[in-house]
């Protein structure tokens, strides 16, 4: 893989901010609107494995059928959780970004800075006005 891919929901502010940070590095990523074009089960499992996090940590609760499906049951297997995410892609937390430097669930959006191959090209502020990158392209702590 040579490029950057974002599993994106354009209705999500965090996802929009992450996409803007990627573009601020001079990269036009492959954008996968995962609600319209969900990843395959194998692809999702691979992304989660490469993130090095538990499957459960990628589950989204807010605004999803999480509770109705009983996904808060700690005894559910990873396979069952993956099946639920594939059946209901809204359960996949976002945005997930894949670059040559790794895969990350970018919450908060500035987490993407750790895996972008190219530096920021200038100042960046989130939609809410929070400054994340200064004029020299450096991350603001």
d(CA 23, CA 112): 11
84 alpha carbon, distance to own chain's centre: 18
Active site residues: 12
Long-range interactions of 108-115: CB distance < 8 A, separation 24+: 108/14, 109/14, 109/15, 109/17, 109/18, 109/21, 110/21, 110/139, 112/18, 112/21, 112/22, 113/21, 113/139
CB atoms within 10 A of CB 37: 10
DSSP summary character for residue 84 = H
């Amino acid at each position: 893989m040579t490029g950057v891919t974002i599993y994106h929901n354009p209705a999500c502010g965090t996802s929009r901010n992450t996409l803007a940070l990627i573009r601020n590095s001079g990269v036009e990523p492959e954008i996968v609107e995962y609600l319209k074009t969900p990843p395959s089960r194998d692809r999702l499992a691979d992304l989660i494995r490469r993130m090095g996090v538990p499957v459960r940590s990628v589950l989204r609760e807010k605004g999803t059928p999480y509770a109705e499906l009983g996904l808060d049951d700690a005894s559910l297997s990873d396979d069952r959780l993956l099946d639920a995410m594939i059946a209901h892609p809204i359960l996949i937390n976002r945005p997930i970004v894949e670059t040559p430097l790794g895969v990350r669930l970018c919450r908060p959006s500035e987490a993407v800075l750790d895996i972008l191959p190219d530096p920021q090209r200038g100042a960046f502020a989130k939609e809410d006005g929070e400054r994340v990158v200064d004029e020299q392209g450096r991350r603001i702590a």
